[in-house]
Amino acid sequence: MGHNTITSTTKLCAIIGNPIEHSLSPLIHNAAFEHLKLNYVFLAFEVEHLREAVSGIRALNLKGVSVTIPHKVEVMDYLDDIEEVARRIGAVNTILNQEGRLLGYNTDWSGAIKALEGKVELKNKKTILLGAGGAARAIAFGLKEKGADLTILNRTVKKAEVLASELNCQWGGLELVESFKPDILINTTSLGMYPRVDDLPVKKEFLKDMLVFDIVYNPLKTHLIRKAEQNGCATIPGVEMFINQAALQFELWTGKKAPLGLMKKVVVEKLS
Ligand code: NAP
């Protein structure tokens, strides 16, 4: 892949996380910068000491930063301001440097909701969310915001309970899933993620007459998505959310409309 000519006025964006070597963010953001001929470059940094890293963003005047595991919660302590919804979710995955002020956003929730709303209206839909980790928190807030009838099921039941009590919705253990008849099933557990690609969070017979959204995007077509398709369910693969959240970051950092099709093509080619 070629790249823009880097000059003394090139703006730097980055992703910080740990581990980081498998991140696809540099690939898609650089492809998008290049496509729109923007004088930006994107790098990945494996960060152990988060406070120092955020000082570095200020000191070196990075334009935008994507924040990933395990830093999405702690990073909130080091920013100048945080958008209301990210504050309520309790996690920031995007930093925008606005003339020296570091602003925190969450594009995971909006990326996921955009992927869902491309297929279905969420209001009053019986929705089962499997998982209660970081991504689940962001998506659960979005679902409530859109008026979905939400139930959160998680292996560690206490975590489902804590999240559900913040959102005033139902909760339980993963094994309860078969006692529901949802319109929408969303997997936010890491079950099925590479390299354990044969794991399935629910029995395949359960996947009938529902929309199945799996946020796991490696592999592109998870075991869950395959089984759901075989049973005639509508499906949304995780790559849709991944691209949407990246596109929203890109738009915050550049003020330009993200080349969504190109970003998707780059990820799909990489993971195929
Ligand atoms: P996280 O905070 O670590 O949460 C992991 C979740 O998976 C927890 O609910 C955990 O349950 C559950 N889990 C893990 N192993 C399990 C097992 N063996 N059986 C049952 N449940 C299990 O991680 P996260 O940030 O939410 O990410 C979760 C997944 O979403 C990852 O695969 C990640 O790559 C993907 N993701 C995709 C996007 C996207 O844009 N498409 C964005 C963010 C994340 P416990 O609470 O019981 O441990």
- Residue 150 is predicted with a pLDDT of 98
Task: Identify which of 69, 129, 190 to mutate to test ligand 1's pocket (most ligand atoms within 8 A of the CB).
Answer: 190
Hey, is 171 helix, strand or coil?
strand
Same domain, 71 and 101: yes
**Residue 137: partners with Cβ closer than 8 Å, 6 or more residues away:** 89, 90, 91, 163
Establish whether 72 is a catalytic residue.
Answer: yes
Q: By alpha-carbon position, which residue is closest to atom 44 of ligand 1?
A: 135
Nearest CA to ligand 1 atom 27: 135
pLDDT at 84: 95
pLDDT value for 250: 98
CATH number of the domain where residue 20 is located: 3.40.50.10860
Q: Are residues 20 and 32 in the same domain?
A: yes
CA of 198 to the centre of ligand 1 (A): 16
Ranges in the chain, pLDDT < 50 = 1
Give the CATH number, domain containing residue 192.
3.40.50.720
Judge whether 4 lies within some domain: no
pLDDT value at residue 4:
65
Q: Select from 267, 251, 249, 256 the least CA-distant residue to 65.
A: 249
Residue 2 covered by a domain: no
pLDDT of residue 3: 57
Ligand 1 atom nearest to 246, measured from its CA? 40
* Whole-number pLDDT of residue 78: 98
Spacing, Cα 11 to ligand 1 middle (Å): 33
Query: Ligand 1 pocket: which of 128, 188, 240 to mutate (most atoms <8 Å of CB)?
Result: 188
Q: What is the pLDDT of residue 5?
A: 87
Using the CB atoms, write b or e for 154-183: b if 16+ within 10 Å. Answer: beebebbeebbeebebebbebeebeebebb
Q: Are strands 149-154 and 170-173 parallel, antiparallel or unpaired?
A: parallel
User: Considering the entire predicted model, what is its pTM?
Assistant: 0.94
Question: Do 170 and 248 belong to one domain?
Answer: no
